[in-house]
Structures are given as C-alpha cells and as structure tokens.
C-alpha cells in the first residue's frame, strides 16, 4: 500500500507539472495569436491582452486583481504600408520596416547610394545638391550611418538638405522597434534589407503613420496573500509588444514577451495553491516596448512601498533553449545572487548563470535604480533569439526549454532566501 501511495503521489505530481506546461503553452499561444494584433497600441491589442490577463489571474486564484491606468504618447503604423523598389513591391516586415519615430511618406523618389568604401561627406553633400538627386532617399548601412552620426545629422533635418529621407539597411530578419516612438522626427527613416535595396534607382512609397497622444494603457496587478504582510515578493513581465506594421502585418511576440507573461501567471497559480509566507505580487506591465513606461509609472506609484520588496524577479524573453541563463542583478540584489548560483549549482537547472551589466533594457530597471533587490532573467542566444522584434517571433519559433528551469529556480530561491 505504501508503494502504491507513493506511486500515485508521484503520478499526480507529474500530471500537475504536465498541466502547468500545458497551461503555460496555452497562454503563450493565446497572447501571440492574431486576436491581439501584436499586443500593440494602434488597434487596442495591448489593452485586449490586458483584459485577458485579468481573467487569467482570477482563474489562477489570485486574491486581488487590479488594473493601474497610465497613458503614453506613441507613434504607430497601422494604416497603409506599401513600398516599391524599381517597380517591385516589397513585403513589410520581411523586406522593410520603419524606424519607430518616422513620419509617413508618400510619393516616388530617386535613390542616392552612399559610397561607404571611399566615404567623403563633402562629396556626398555636393552630389545631393545636384538636380538629379533633389527629393531623393539616401541609402546607407545602419551602423555606418550611426558611426558617422555628425555627417548624417544634416540629412535628417528639414531645410538642411534636399533629400526627402533616409533608407538604412539592416540584415534579415529585419527588426522593428517602439522604444523611441514618443515623438515624430522631420524626415522618414525606412529600414530595408541589403538584398531589397541593392542597386535600385527609385522608390515609391505609400506609408502612413498616426501619432497617438495620451493613449491609455494599464498594468495588471495580481496579489496572492501570504501569512505575513510586512514584506512581499514581486514577479514582473511585460505583456505589450510591437503591434502592427501596416494593416495586415503584426508582430506576434511569442518569446518577447508572451513567454515571461505566461510564466508569472503560472507562478501566481502555484502560490495560490501553496500559500506562501509573504504576500506575492504579480505585475504584468504594459508600455515596456515604448520605453519601460508601465514599470516606470508603477515605480513612481507603487501599490505597496518599494522598501517592502524582499526581491523582484523580472522575466523577459524566457522562451528559448540556451542552456546558459542570462541575468542582470541590481546592486541590492547582489545579496541574493550567491544563493541563485548555489541553487543552480545544486539542481543543474542551467549550465551556468551569465550575469551581464545592469542596463535599462527591461522592466527591472526602474526598480533597480530605486534600490530594490531584483534580478532580470532572459534566455539569450538560443534558437528563438534571432527572431525577437521580427514578424517571425511566433508560437512556432518560440522554445519552451527554459520555462521549467526558470520556474523552479525562482521557486527554490523564494523558499530559501
């Protein structure tokens, strides 16, 4: 009977683990579906995803679920998005994308290719003064233009040069961003793959942008009550993503960051079923891709004092298969990092923890700068990593290898810290 009991207990435990993974995958699949149009801002995808998460946290057994509203200014591209190179129509998200702060652009333009081998800025400006290059689009490799920022700055200002805008080349798969989309610059900047732009003489565009002023978003905050209320643990992930590039193209964001968002929902479910010692808060931030707006707003308006946070875990892009786990740790969080390494060494969840320099690259940063003990976990350089911020970050390309190791590492740390 004892053997049967333990067999059944082990079987139930395995079934629960399998159910957790099934639930985790279901949330990732839902959030990255076309229903939410990339969880962006122009088509209300982020807010629809937020409402879905409210229900998920309630079903998980959270004692309290609230929404914390805030607003942002953001540039969007959900209208016309068409471009022809020498008469050949290109595909948005595959052959080209837009810099997030670009205005729209409409018309047909000659193309000027910058000579990057024998680069002479004076010759470039002399060429652009010729009648044949009036109202042209200037083509240059992105990082070359970045390194020669002073020489290219005039090309980006109205009235400084006769060019209409810039085309910057970026290798495939081409990226799209939102981080600096709180403004619109004077001239358009189009990103294109080198293959799409090579040797072309003219470009025709029909590209719309819409600048949204005071666009309303919200953080979703769930609480699982512990036995003690004087301190708390906080688990965070951002649920917004890049939204649309035109009317038909959207960015699914399965790895970035449906993967982290799904993990904090299943963590909430775990702690609802296993009452913790301390209160547990699970915060799904919006506005991360527009510059950490949701987490910065929360850090300025916390529901509980920041000094009560024992430790904060930020999960972003954990949907990959690299056996080495990347992390960043705040200065105060270093008091617990040795324990993370000890647990990982004992349990072999990952081959190692690769600690990088603290940076403003995700939602832990507003807390780290306010002296909150925190760690940022992100699985980099796996098979899914090349697809982040592209249209290929889908449920089919996301990997689930790191979910359970991250879940267990965080759980074990809370038990022993």
pLDDT of residue 160: 83
pLDDT higher than threshold 60 for residue 195: yes
Residues 181 and 272 placed together within one structural domain of the fold: no
Residues 341 and 280 placed together within one structural domain of the fold: yes
- 204's CB contacts (< 8 A; 6+ apart) are 83, 84, 87, 107, 108, 109
Confidence of residue 229 (pLDDT cuts 50, 70, 90): very high
Could you give the CA distance from residue 254 to residue 388 in angstroms, rounded to a whole number? 9
Total domains, the chain? 2
Q: 3-class DSSP state for residue 70?
A: strand
Query: Of 207, 241, 270, at which residue does a domain stop?
Result: 207
Tell me whether residue 337 is in a domain.
yes
Residues 387 and 246 placed together within one structural domain of the fold: yes
Could you give the CA distance from residue 151 to residue 74 in angstroms, rounded to a whole number? 28
Confidence of residue 218 (pLDDT cuts 50, 70, 90): very high
> What range does the domain containing 101 cover?
81-207
Confidence of residue 185 (pLDDT cuts 50, 70, 90): very high
Tell me whether residue 15 is in a domain.
no
Strands 374-378 and 309-315: parallel
Could you give the CA distance from residue 319 to residue 27 in angstroms, rounded to a whole number? 12
Residues 184 and 51 placed together within one structural domain of the fold: no
Residues 360 and 249 placed together within one structural domain of the fold: yes
Once rounded to an integer, what is the mean pLDDT over residues 358-370? 97
Residues 335 and 369 placed together within one structural domain of the fold: yes
pLDDT higher than threshold 50 for residue 209: yes
pLDDT higher than threshold 90 for residue 2: no
Q: Percentage of residues in the chain with pLDDT exceeding 70?
A: 95
Query: Of 191, 207, 223, at which residue does a domain stop?
Result: 207
Q: What is the pLDDT of residues 53-70, one digit of tens each?
A: 999 999 999 999 999 999
pLDDT of residue 198: 95
Tokens describing residue 161: 């040069």
Residues 202 and 245 placed together within one structural domain of the fold: no
Residues 160 and 228 placed together within one structural domain of the fold: no
Sheet harboring 165-169: ordered strands across? Answer: 88-89, 81-85, 202-207, 105-113, 137-141, 165-169, 189-192, 96-98
Tell me whether residue 5 is in a domain.
no
Tell me whether residue 8 is in a domain.
no
Name the least confident of 147-156, 312-321, 408-417.
147-156
pLDDT higher than threshold 70 for residue 216: yes
pLDDT higher than threshold 50 for residue 11: no
Residues 69 and 172 placed together within one structural domain of the fold: no
Residues 400 and 273 placed together within one structural domain of the fold: yes
pLDDT higher than threshold 90 for residue 158: no
pLDDT higher than threshold 70 for residue 5: no
- The CATH number given to whatever domain includes residue 355 is 3.40.630.10
Confidence of residue 3 (pLDDT cuts 50, 70, 90): very low
Residues 175 and 218 placed together within one structural domain of the fold: no
Once rounded to an integer, what is the mean pLDDT over residues 233-257? 98
Once rounded to an integer, what is the mean pLDDT over residues 63-90? 98
Once rounded to an integer, what is the mean pLDDT over residues 4-29? 63
Residues 194 and 158 placed together within one structural domain of the fold: yes
Q: What is the pLDDT of residues 32-58, one digit of tens each?
A: 999 999 999 999 999 999 999 999 999
Tell me whether residue 1 is in a domain.
no
pLDDT higher than threshold 50 for residue 13: no
Query: Of 189, 207, 225, at which residue does a domain stop?
Result: 207
Distance of CA 349 to the CA centre of its chain: 24
* Dihedral (CA of 342, 343, 347, 353) sign: negative
pLDDT of residue 159: 85
Once rounded to an integer, what is the mean pLDDT over residues 204-229? 98
């Amino acid at each position: 009977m004892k053997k049967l009991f333990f067999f059944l207990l082990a079987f139930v435990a395995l079934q629960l683990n399998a159910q957790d993974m099934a639930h985790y995958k279901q949330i990732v699949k839902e959030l990255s579906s076309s229903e939410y149009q990339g969880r962006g801002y122009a088509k209300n995808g982020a807010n629809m995803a937020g409402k879905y998460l409210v229900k998920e946290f309630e079903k998980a057994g959270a004692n309290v679920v609230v929404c914390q509203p805030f607003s942002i200014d953001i540039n969007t591209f959900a209208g016309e998005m068409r471009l022809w190179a020498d008469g050949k129509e290109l595909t948005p998200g595959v052959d080209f994308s837009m810099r997030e702060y670009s205005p729209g652009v409409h018309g047909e333009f000659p193309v000027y290719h910058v000579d990057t081998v024998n680069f002479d800025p004076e010759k470039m400006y002399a060429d652009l003064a010729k009648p044949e290059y009036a109202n042209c689009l200037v083509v240059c490799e992105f990082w070359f233009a970045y390194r020669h920022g002073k020489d290219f700055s005039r090309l980006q200002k109205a009235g400084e040069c006769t060019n209409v805008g810039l085309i910057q080349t970026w290798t495939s798969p081409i990226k799209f961003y939102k981080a600096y989309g709180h403004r619109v610059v004077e001239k358009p900047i189009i990103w294109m793959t080198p293959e799409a732009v090579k040797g072309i003489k003219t470009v025709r565009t029909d590209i719309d942008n819409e600048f949204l002023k005071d666009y309303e978003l919200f953080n979703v905050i769930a609480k699982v009550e512990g036995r003690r209320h004087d301190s708390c643990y906080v688990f965070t992930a951002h649920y917004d993503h890049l939204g649309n590039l035109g009317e038909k193209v959207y960015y699914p964001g399965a790895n970035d960051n449906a993967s982290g968002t799904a993990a904090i929902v299943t963590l909430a479910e775990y702690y609802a079923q296993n009452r913790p010692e301390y209160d547990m808060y699970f915060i799904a931030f919006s506005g991360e891709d527009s510059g950490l707006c949701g987490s910065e707003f929360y850090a300025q308006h916390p529901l509980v004092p920041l000094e009560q946070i024992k430790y904060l875990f930020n999960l972003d892009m954990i949907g990959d298969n690299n056996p080495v786990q990347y992390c960043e740790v705040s200065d105060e969080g270093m008091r617990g990092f040795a324990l993370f390494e000890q647990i990982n060494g004992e349990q072999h969840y990952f081959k190692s923890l690769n600690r990088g320099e603290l940076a403003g690259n995700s939602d832990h940063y507003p807390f780290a700068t306010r002296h909150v003990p925190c760690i940022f976990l992100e699985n980099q350089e796996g098979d899914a990593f090349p697809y982040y911020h592209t249209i290929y970050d889908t449920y089919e390309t996301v990997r689930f290898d790191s979910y359970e190791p991250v879940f267990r590492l965080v759980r074990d740390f809370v038990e022993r810290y």
